[in-house]
Each structure stands twice: as structure tokens, then as C-alpha cells.
Amino acid sequence: MTEVRVDAPALTALADFPDTTPRGIAGVIARLVNAGELGAGDRLPTVRELAGALGVSPATVSQAWQALSRAGLIESRGRAGSFVRGAASARLAPRMRGMAAPHDPVRLDLSRGTPDPLLLPALGPALSRVSARAETGSYQDEPVIPGLASVLATSWPSRAEAIVVVDGALDAISRTLDQVVRFGDLVVVEHPGFPPFLDLLDALGAEAVPVPLDEHGMLPGELASALARRPVALLLQPRAQNPTGASMTVERAEELARVIRSSDDADDLVVIEDDHSGLISTEGDVTLGAWLPDRVVHVRSFSKSHGPDLRIAALGGPRQLIERIMARRMLGPGWTSRMLQTILLDLLTDGASIDAVAEARRQYYTRQRALGDALRERGVPVAPADGINMWVPVLSERSALVQLAAAGIRVAAGTPFLAASDAATSGNGARSRRDGDFVRVTVGVLRDGADEVADALATAAQHLVAGGY
């Protein structure tokens, strides 16, 4: 591809810049890219060149460039400059690309963060039972079938004014953020945290404010400091946190709620909880909604417990916010297939399916315990984890990935999970980048061979000083 250099005069000739805030500049460039006026591989003006042409500070243009980069429209190549990103990379957002496993075969793939397919309840019996029981009489019917609505309300961890069904946890998180977050807003996130959350914030032009964890979840003192920056939302995973496997205790949840309630800077804060592994978690159901019912949106996914391809999650919280989310959704997919809802209802109430999920929960606990014990015996400082993932310190992320691949084992790189890759923090993400890196290991699919995997991970973690998170 021949490089096309677009200088500042050429760029300002292509379009007017009536709004010279970072958001306005980024919006103009985005429209030029989307319209094809700027093509893949085009080299953009330098920050100083465009700042001079627009009569703004270099910092203003730099913020616009950062927003475009986070949204995946442009990329920086260091001294070579900033370039329009090619369309071939657009299917996955930047951090999701970093999580994606290569297509080449490997003996043991522990990188994907997915449940063991052998531990999912059988869909065949449910499909045969519900094939004639799902109908829609009108586009304006209630979005949740009555039976499922009743089961969800009964099992919800706290009082919720409204509970609806959407197409998976990320759909729920995305739709909630769309209603709460605007360009330039701050959102508190876990550090380390789930990469797609960070991609979503980048796409919205929001800034992530990372707060570290310990084995019980987000640290209250660090949260209090983050709230002083007046964020509009807080994203957290109450159980089986991805990537660390940490689960909040009731005591920690109450403490976090107390911090939020007592902060003068958090009057309008919305708490968004992603309980993605609830039914396979060994820890108790917990939500800040027990203390903050008017500002907590709780998401419960059934992908880990009943199958990722069902694409169903429940979303509950304050009625006014939930109704805004659903009103906007009616202008898109409208509702989640009532056939899929009927299948999920069958799985949640059928005895054999309930037993299958209980067995999966037991198996995941056993696999976590086996690998965790084996690693600690070898001097690798990992804390007990819940769910299907484990966050393992290594001497060098890149070297660990190569060493493990040579042993036929694939794990996920830790970098995409870090909201601030150069931060030296405490808690689950505590280890400074100078002291060591991390990899995420999907223990849930490790049916046997824990000692062999522990040997390989211990080799990758050699020379680390033991001492916990």
C-alpha cells in the first residue's frame, strides 16, 4: 500500500472544524474515515501541525487522536506518525484482538475464558420440550416471558424495580453504558479487569479510572480516592472476577456501598455489576444493590453455566433506567427471542439441568483447587480463585507465552486486562510491571494434568518472590 501523507492544510480543506474541542475534532476525522475521504494507511498530520492549523493547543489535538485510537479508527506508529487503521482489523476491538487466540492448533488451550463444553447441561431434551411453546403475538408484547420473569425475580440477589432479558452480559453492559456515559466521562473499573469493558469505554470516548483489587474484590480506600474524580459509573464483577477469580464477600460489598454513599462526589454514580459466572460460582450471591437499590444495575449471565451460544443475560435495576435501556433496544433487536427464553426457563427449572450445573460448579472448584495448590507448592504466589479463570504472575509475559507454547500450552496474555499497564498498584493487580507480568489461565477446561501445567507455569514464573498478590 502506498503511503498517502495528508498534511494539515489538506485535512482542513476536506472538512470544516466548527467544534475544536477534542470531541469535535475526533468527530470530524471519524466522519472523514467513515466516508472514505481518509483511507486505510493514510498518514495524518502531526499533532502540532493540526493544532497550528486549527488554532488550538497540541494537547487538544492529542486528546482527539487518543480518542480515535481507542475507538480503533487510527493507530500510532511511533516516530512514523499516526495512520488511518485498515478495515481488516475492525472485526474485533483493540483489547479483544489482544485476547483472541491464534487459529493454529495447540495441545492444551487455556486461553479462551470459556466454560468446559462437557460441563454444560444438555440442550437436546430442552429443545424437544419447548419446540411448540414460544410465540409472539405482537411486537409490543412484554419483553420477558412470564415464567422466566418469575424465576428471575425470585432468584435476584436484591430488590430490583425492573428485570429484563438481553442478549448476553456484554449486551447488557453496553446498553447500560450507552445510557449513562458520555464522551469525556470517567468510569471506575477494576484493575486488572475485563478487556471488553475497556474497549467499550474507549468506543464511548470515556476514560477508565482503575482501582486495584485483593482476593475479596475492589479495595474500598482506593475506590474512595477514585470517587474524588467524580466518575459517572462504576463497573465491577462481584463474583469470579475475570481475570483474577476474586469474589466479593458481603462485608466487602457493604464497605464499598458505604464508601459510595458517604462520598459527596458520587451522588449520581451508577454501579454496574456483571455477575457473569453466578451459577457456577462457589461463593455466595452478593450485590451492592442490597444497600444502594436506586443506583445499582445488576447483570446475571447464563453463558458460563448454560452455554455461550444461548446469548442470554438478565438485567435488573431502577425502573426508570431499565425502561430507557429497553426503549432504545426496541429500535434495534426489540427483544430476546422468546424461543431462547423458553429454553432457558426449561434449563433453570428442569431437575437434570439443575444437577448438571451443580456438578459443573463442583468440577470447576476442584480444578481451581488442584492447579492453585500445585502452583503454591512450587512457590508461585496465586490466591484461591472462584469460577473458571486464574491470574498467574510470571517473570515476563512474552517469554512465558513462548515457553508455554513450546510445551504445547496456550494461555492469555495479561496486558489486555490492564487498564493502566504501567501502574504500580496493590491488590490482585498489585505486582508492579517492574516486578513481573501476568497471564490468565482458564482453569475451567483443565480436566486433568494440573501438575504438568503447574510445572510449566512455575518455570515461566521462576525468580518471582513468593508473597501473594
Name the average pLDDT for the chain: 87
Q: Is the pLDDT of residue 465 over 60?
A: no
DSSP per residue over 353-413, as a string? Answer: HHHHHHHHHHHHHHHHHHHHHHHHHTT-------TTEEEEEES-HHHHHHHHHHTTEE-EE
Residue 132: per-residue pLDDT = 60
Strand, coil or helix: 62: helix
CA atoms within 13 A on the CB side of 17: 24
Q: How sure is the predictor about 128, in pLDDT bands with cuts at 50, 70 and 90?
A: confident
Tens-place pLDDT, residues 224-235: 999 999 999 999
Q: What span, in angstroms and rounded, lies between the C-alpha atoms of 109 and 411?
A: 7
- Identify the weakest region by mean pLDDT among 380-384, 416-420, 455-459: 416-420
- Identify the weakest region by mean pLDDT among 92-96, 114-118, 120-124, 449-453: 92-96
| Strand-pair partners of 412 | 440
Residue 15: per-residue pLDDT = 83
Tens-place pLDDT, residues 32-51: 887 788 888 899 999 999 99
Pairing outcome for strands 270-275 and 233-236: parallel
Distance from chain centroid for Cα 454: 27
Residue 2: per-residue pLDDT = 56
For residue 90, what is the enclosing H or E element?
Answer: none
CATH of domain 120-351: 3.40.640.10
Q: What span, in angstroms and rounded, lies between the C-alpha atoms of 391 and 385?
A: 9
Of residues 318 and 19, more confidently modeled? 318
Q: How sure is the predictor about 424, in pLDDT bands with cuts at 50, 70 and 90?
A: very low
Q: Is residue 108 within 8 Å of residue 456, measured between CB atoms?
A: no
Q: What span, in angstroms and rounded, lies between the C-alpha atoms of 16 and 12?
A: 6
How large is the average pLDDT for residues 168-193? 95
> What residues have CB less than 8 Å from 149, skipping those under 6 apart?
142, 163
Q: Is the pLDDT of residue 88 over 90?
A: no
> In the chain, where are the structural domains located?
8-89, 94-118+360-460, 120-351
Residue 106: per-residue pLDDT = 74
Exposed, middle or buried by CB within 10 Å (0-12, 13-18, 19+), for 211? buried
**Which residue, among 208, 224, 277, has the nearest Cα to 248 in the 3D structure?**
277
Residue 199: per-residue pLDDT = 92
The 8-class DSSP code of residue 106 comes to: -
How large is the average pLDDT for residues 131-156? 81
Peptide bond into 192 cis (omega under 30): yes
**237 grid coordinates:** 464483577
Q: Is residue 394 within 8 Å of residue 381, measured between CB atoms?
A: no
Residue 108: per-residue pLDDT = 92
Please give the share of the chain, as a percent, with pLDDT higher than 90.
61
| Strand-pair partners of 441 | 390
Extended beta strands in 66-181, E state: 74-76, 82-84, 108-109, 162-166
- Identify the weakest region by mean pLDDT among 155-169, 324-338, 442-456: 324-338
**Domain 94-118+360-460 class in CATH:** alpha beta
Tens-place pLDDT, residues 238-295: 999 999 999 999 999 999 999 999 999 999 999 999 999 989 999 999 999 999 999 9
Q: Is the pLDDT of residue 467 over 50?
A: no
Q: Is residue 6 within 8 Å of residue 84, measured between CB atoms?
A: no
Q: Is the pLDDT of residue 433 over 70?
A: no
Q: Is the pLDDT of residue 1 over 60?
A: no
**Alpha-carbon Rg for the chain in angstroms:** 23
Longest dimension (CA), the chain: 69
Q: Is the pLDDT of residue 103 over 70?
A: no
Residue 397: per-residue pLDDT = 86
Please give the share of the chain, as a percent, with pLDDT higher than 70.
88
Q: Is the pLDDT of residue 7 over 90?
A: no
φ, ψ of residue 221 in degrees (nearest 5): -60, -40
Tens-place pLDDT, residues 320-356: 999 999 999 988 888 898 889 999 999 999 999 999 9
- Identify the weakest region by mean pLDDT among 84-88, 196-200, 386-390: 84-88
**Which residue, among 238, 245, 192, has the nearest Cα to 389 in the 3D structure?**
245
Residue 37: per-residue pLDDT = 87
CATH architecture for residues 8-89:
Orthogonal Bundle (1.10)
Tens-place pLDDT, residues 391-415: 999 988 888 887 888 788 999 999 8
Q: Is the pLDDT of residue 188 over 80?
A: yes
